[in-house]
Amino acid sequence: MSDDAALLERRFRVMGRNAPLFYDRPVHLVRGHGVWVEDADGRRYLDVYNNVPHVGHCHPHVVEAIARQAATLNLHTRYLHETVVAYAERLTATFAEPLDAAVFTCSGTESNELALRLARYRSGGRGIIVSDFSYHGNSETLAAVTTCFPVPEPFPVFARKVPVPDPYRDRQGRDDGALGDLFAAKIAEAVRSLKAEGIPLAALLIDTLFANEGLPEPVPGYVAKAVAIVHEAGGQFICDEVQAGFGRTGDAMWGHQLSGVTPDIVTLGKPMGNGHPLAGVIAPAELIDSFGKAATYFNTFGGNPVSAAAGMAVLDVIEDEGLLENSRRVGAHVRAGLERLMARYPIIGNVRGRGLFFGIEIIADAGEKTPDPALTKRLVNMMRDRGVLLSRIGRYDNILKMRPPMVFTTADADLLLATLDNALAAL
């Protein structure tokens, strides 16, 4: 047995005792391949959590691209380089007009910071609307508008939070139109409230998949209605694709495409470089040009040749291995399996998600839909002990979060479903 306790103690000393760590018994990982990771004792785990290794842990095509470029040149974008331009061209080509230019950064945090600066520059306002159960980054401004976990910063006077519709709990007899209107009215209320305090709206910042909110089934038209109100108020719609992007949902390259609304600004992160710190902002060239003139925005590591090579290799693999189609097909297979489990286990309140991002809601009482976060936590740890890595999300922390690398197969899905069945039976 490896001495994980000693490693943990050393970590506490030099990285702090409160740096986030998964599971009651932390996992000490040493290698990964495809959808599998292995701990220091040689035990293998099926990774049903990580979207950072988007095309699979240590995908050889991405590793080779990184290694080759790191050995050739790694500088910044104040010199010309072919790869970063070609990557920006290929990436922006996956977006609808007028989203035709890219600024590269190192993280979702940096992307959302830049998006807010762009939105405030364009709108002249400072007001920000976020969902009431969201997270968009760890900088001071983004931390302050975090609504899904406690932060020391006060919620800013320039921000408002709105609930997003979750049909499982909010429908209460309403049809889709009425449900969408109900929540759009809350956006309008937030705009009015900001205006009343003399704060013009700059942006609505949301993830249209509402991942942190717990992956609610989408209410048709809700996003379009909300964005119309935002545009009417002079604000920009910033779509955070850090979780939904790069084909995760199986039905589209970008989550916002499912809502039928083209954002004003899109932010990218986690899956973009398969683990290499690469992120970005997609916006109209006209906006980026105008802002760039006023702001001299420069990001030292953003879009360096190695990052661009990594990003390009990820796009290669998504295409070459048909990962959108895989996400759609395997996702549907998982969903059907989860629905079969729901029919057998009354603690599963519902099944949610699309493509390779799915969840089940754990409840204590089917009639009242009472969330059971303690049981959900126990289930997460039981799955870890059974060799499957996943986590939980949602307002009540009672939704299993399952978001495996995009190379997840139906065989992997069957192993997940069998293990989940086994854990549920053992509760």
E-only strand ranges, 329-413: 348-354, 357-365, 370-371, 388-389, 391-393, 399-401
Q: Supply the minimum distance, in Å, between the C-beta of residue 21 and a second copy.
A: 6
What is the distance between the alpha carbons of residues 77 and 84, in angstroms, rounded to a whole number?
8
Least distance in angstroms from the C-beta of 45 to a second copy = 10
Are 356 and 406 within 8 A, CB to CB?
A: yes
Task: Write out the E strands in 245-376.
Answer: 265-268, 279-283, 348-354, 357-365, 370-371
List CB contacts of 322: < 8 A, sequence separation 6 or more: none
- Shortest spacing between CB 102 and a second copy, in angstroms: 6
Nearer to a second copy, 350 or 376 (CB): 376
- Residue among 39 and 181 whose Cβ is closer to a second copy: 39
CB under 8 Å to 361, separation ≥6 — which residues? 168, 214, 348, 349, 350, 351, 352, 371, 394, 398, 399
Q: How far is the CB of 218 from a second copy (least distance, A)?
A: 25
- CA–CA distance, 64 with 45 (Å, rounded to integer): 25
**Which residue, 56 or 337, has its beta carbon nearer to a second copy?**
56
Q: In terms of CB distance, is 212 or 259 closer to a second copy?
A: 212
Whether the CB-CB separation of 427 and 375 falls below 8 Å is answered with yes
Q: Backbone phi, then psi, for 109, in 5-degree steps?
A: -60, -50
Cβ proximity to a second copy: between 58 and 182 the closer is 58
Query: How far is 5 from 26, CA to CA, in rounded Å?
Result: 9
What is the phi/psi pair of residue 345, to 5°? Answer: -115, 110
- Are the C-beta atoms of residues 160 and 197 closer than 8 Å to each other? no
**Which whole-number Å values give the CA distances from 106 to 111, 112, 269, 278, in the listed order?**
8, 11, 8, 5
Least distance between a second copy and beta carbon 324 (Å)? 23
Task: Give CA–CA dist 169/219, Å, rounded.
Answer: 12
Q: Which is nearer to a second copy, 112 or 259 (by Cβ)?
A: 112
Shortest Å, Cβ 302 to a second copy: 8
* CA distance from start to end of the chain: 28
**Distance in angstroms (rounded) separating the CA atoms of residues 126 and 119:** 9
Closer CB to a second copy, residue 190 or residue 288?
288
Which of 310/424 has CB closer to a second copy? 310
Closest CB to a second copy among residues 21, 336:
21
**Minimum distance of a second copy from residue 369's CB (angstroms):** 27
| CA nearest neighbour of 307 among 269, 340, 361, 357 | 269
Q: How far is the CB of 424 from a second copy (least distance, A)?
A: 25
Alpha-carbon separation of residue 340 from 141, 254, 263, 413, 418 (angstroms): 43, 29, 37, 13, 11
Beta bridge partners of 46: 36, 388
Nearest Cα residue to 311 out of 277, 288, 285, 282:
277
Residue 364 Cβ vs a second copy, minimum distance, rounded to whole Å: 26
How far apart, in whole angstroms, are the C-alpha atoms of residue 97 and residue 62?
Answer: 29
Q: How far is the CB of 426 from a second copy (least distance, A)?
A: 24
8 or 332, CB closer to a second copy? 8
Shortest Å distance, C-beta 211 to a second copy: 14
Q: Which is nearer to a second copy, 66 or 413 (CB)?
A: 66
